[in-house]
Structure 1
């Protein structure tokens, strides 16, 4: 099999028997200052993990429904197989929430999120099987593009583009997305280096490394060996959690070689890195618990901006990709489509919702039972009629008020 041979030829630099895709190779070659900035390593940085979690959990909790537009009316398409798979259980291992959360995290970390569509003999949708981005790549087999991935048993598998839901992060190519972590490796490497510096500093007893010199005279060979032995024993005692005084058997001078945290602006660097990482993922700083410049007034406004400018682009990305892959062309022409419901994120405070509902009812474009449904309340008899403000007049096609017919 040509595809199988091509897939197995890819190998890691350390072990020829271990497959390595193009993303892993780029991560291996792109180590910054000795720090490999891979998606898995980057998520050890709390700011990166928090950004990915915020966006992934937000996309996962949004209601996702299959709808159909028929004769100008929109009705739930609960009879379509995709409704249960997208809304409840895409496969036997995941719920809809867990599938969307993981797929979004893959896209933010590796730049690509893959889900294989498994169809029956008649083309009906059966399951949505998620593929790991670490073992999935887009390759050209002759004149045809295929997705090279693995099944649940780890065996090579070729998937046609028509049967792969491929969610992409922003990238320079048409076919594959680029990992935001790889695109901003220097910034994330700075954050990882700062964490490593703090860890090593405090593991070393919280004291900077320095240079010890003799103030007066020279040391004989036996004295030099004795001094080294005492120094090693004293320094090893400083690595414990207890603070100890360093005693040396000579008149020595100590000069620090490393920069103390306060001189290196350790805390300021960590704060700046958190802010920069939040901007990489387009997440407001207060969403990752960075409240230094936040106030109660601007947090409310930033929450709205988060939905509009952070969540909405991903919602559009998801909807367009699902619509073009889940449904056949005939189904799309028949009016089937998927839709995320963002109403829950934009509901506002009880006072703001009450004002919104009041205007909607008085202006006559919502009835009271529709409001009750949005508030998770059961409809009541007599509340289906539309109300209209007495100061409002209906206009005809010519723009003039319609005549009022007196009641008999």
Structure 2
């Protein structure tokens, strides 16, 4: 049998006695506090979900186009079959936005994102079918590597590496990525433990547990039984009630045993965990609504840092993987490639854009119609002529000023 069970992945198909893959072994990670940390449970933590959502939605909204470089000139390659699939509709179930958003989320949560390339018998690209990371693995069949996955009907399917877009998170291996959540299970587990503690604390009426003692230290067996029954009845009546006062007989003392949340720095622990999770995904804290240290003066710079240091590595990862799998070697030599447009993320304020355009036009490396296109305005006649600042002097190859000639 070629394929292992969807619940089991072996490093060798010929020898079932070999150890399970790291993905199967790491399916259930337990932190020191006994909380199960997995890609599914981790997303119940608000900070983890927010980080995955921000990165995934940002990658999904970037314009993605197929271009071609011909004789030094870059032109849109809208005639290539990959253009419609990447730009509009990769398959019948998803738009380009939804496909990229889901695949990026898979990569961030599970460490790997898989998309199967479906080609016709003539080799023409027909669709991009996304594969679930839980049921997809890279295995070795003899001397040949293949991806073991399932089709839409759940039937086993073998995919060659040339027909699989495999987006990887950072990991120690060459072939598979490692989930950031699994690499930082203790940090995520601490956040989940803090959430569980807060839930149990408030479910218990917001009161710490304690010790009830008898002042004189004498208590008969019958009195002890009656005391336990009265205590349990009183505690049960308090649940769900706005009255949080528990009345005790005069000869009983109550002493709290557990540490209050403020003493245990409950809120500070949650804030620290949120900051660490943002760092884990390489995100500025303000991107997940942690504005405690954000100011009007630095948040603009942090937005630029987000594009340069958080998004750009993923953009490069996507572009290189798509280019080497979607296009054949002959097509790449012919100049075909894909490119994400980050201009929208780097778009400044109206004042900043106006200053940028003014300098570009006066220095003569943009015309006014090019500016109108960038601002989603239609070109106008006569605005495609290049302007040059009158104070600028053109120099020839010998470094001497060129004579001013009449454009006519």
Q: Same fold (TM over 0.5)?
A: yes
**Contact map agreement 1:42 1:48 (CA 8 A) in 2:** yes
**Correspondence 1:368-407 to 2 at 5 A:** 368-405=368-405
Structure 2 match to 1:286: 286
Judge conservation of contact 1:118–1:127 (CA < 8 Å) in 2: yes
Corresponding residue number in structure 2 for 1:246: 246
Give, in whole Å, the separation in 2 of the partners of 1:176 and 1:382.
Answer: 55
Q: Given the superposition, is the C-alpha separation of residues 249 and 404 from structure 1 closer, same or farther in structure 2, using an over 3 Å criterion?
A: closer
For the 8 Å contact 1:21–1:137, the answer to whether it is kept is: no
Q: What is the CA distance between 1:245 and its match in structure 2?
A: 2.5
2:14 aligns with none
CA contact (8 A) 2:7 2:135 kept: no
Instruction: Report the Cα distance in structure 2 between the residues aligned to 1:46 and 1:166, rounded to whole angstroms.
Output: 27
Partner of 1:70: 70
Query: Separation in 2 of the partners of 1:394 and 1:3?
Result: 70
Residues 407, 306 of structure 1: alpha-carbon distance in 2 compared, 3 angstrom cutoff: closer
The yes-or-no answer on 1:315 pairing with 2:315 is: yes
Relative distance call for 1:183 and 1:9 in structure 2 (3 A) is closer
SS at match of 1:207: coil
Distance in 1 (alpha carbons) for counterparts of 2:312 and 2:26 = 30
Q: What is the total number of aligned residue pairs between the two structures?
A: 399
Q: 2:8 aligns with which of 7, 10, 16?
A: 10
- Report what 2:90 is aligned to: 90
Q: Tell me the equivalent position of 2:15.
A: none
Q: Which residue of 1 aligns with 2:127?
A: 127
* Alpha-carbon distance in 1 for matches of 2:403, 2:104: 56
Stretches of structure 2 lacking an aligned partner (at least 5 in a row)? 10-19
The residue that corresponds to 1:225 in the other structure is: 225
Give 1:136 deviation, angstroms: 1.0
TM-score (norm 2): 0.94
Alignment match, 2:349: 349
Distance 1:233 1:315 in 2: 61
1:370-395: per-residue Cα shift (whole Å, max 9, x none)?
00000000000111111111122222
Change (3 A) 1:334 1:43: same
Q: Which runs of 5+ in 1 are unaligned?
A: 12-19
Deviation at 1:404, TM superposition (A): 3.0
Distance 1:32 1:38 in 2: 14
Given the alignment of the two structures, is residue 48 of structure 1 paired with residue 56 of structure 2, yes or no?
Answer: no
- Alpha-carbon distance change, 361 to 34 in structure 1, aligned in 2, over 3 angstroms: same
Give CA-to-partner distance per residue, 1:230-281, whole Å, 9 cap, x none.
1111111222142243234462222222221111111111111111111111
Report the Cα distance in structure 1 between the residues aligned to 2:76 and 2:121, rounded to whole angstroms: 26
From the superposition, tell whether residues 91 and 8 of structure 1 become closer, same or farther in structure 2 (CA, over 3 Å).
Answer: closer
* Preserved contact between residue 396 and residue 402 of structure 2 (Cα < 8 Å): yes
Aligned to 1:15: none
Give me the whole-angstrom Cα distance separating, in 1, the residues matched to 2:7 and 2:209.
47
The structure carrying a bigger helix percent of its residues is: 1
Partner of 2:333: 333
Q: Distance in 1 between matches of 2:407 and 2:251?
A: 112
Residue 61 of structure 1 corresponds to which residue in structure 2? 61
What's the offset of the Cα at 1:156? 1.5
Cα distance between partner residues in 1 of 2:124 and 2:244:
72
Superimposed CA distance per residue, residues 92-119 of structure 1 (whole angstroms, 9 cap, x where no aligned partner): 1110001101111111111111101001
Quote the Cα distance in structure 2 between the aligned partners of 1:367 and 1:321: 35
Instruction: Please say which of residues 229-238 and 113-122 is displaced more in the overlay.
Output: 229-238
Going from structure 1 to structure 2, the CA distance change for 1:102 and 1:8 (only over 3 Å counts) comes to closer
The TM-score with structure 1 as length reference comes to 0.94
Counting only pairs closer than 5 Å after superposition, residues 124-273 of structure 1 correspond to structure 2 as 124-249=124-249, 251-273=251-273
Further displaced range: 93-102 or 205-214: 205-214
SS for the counterpart of 2:157 is strand
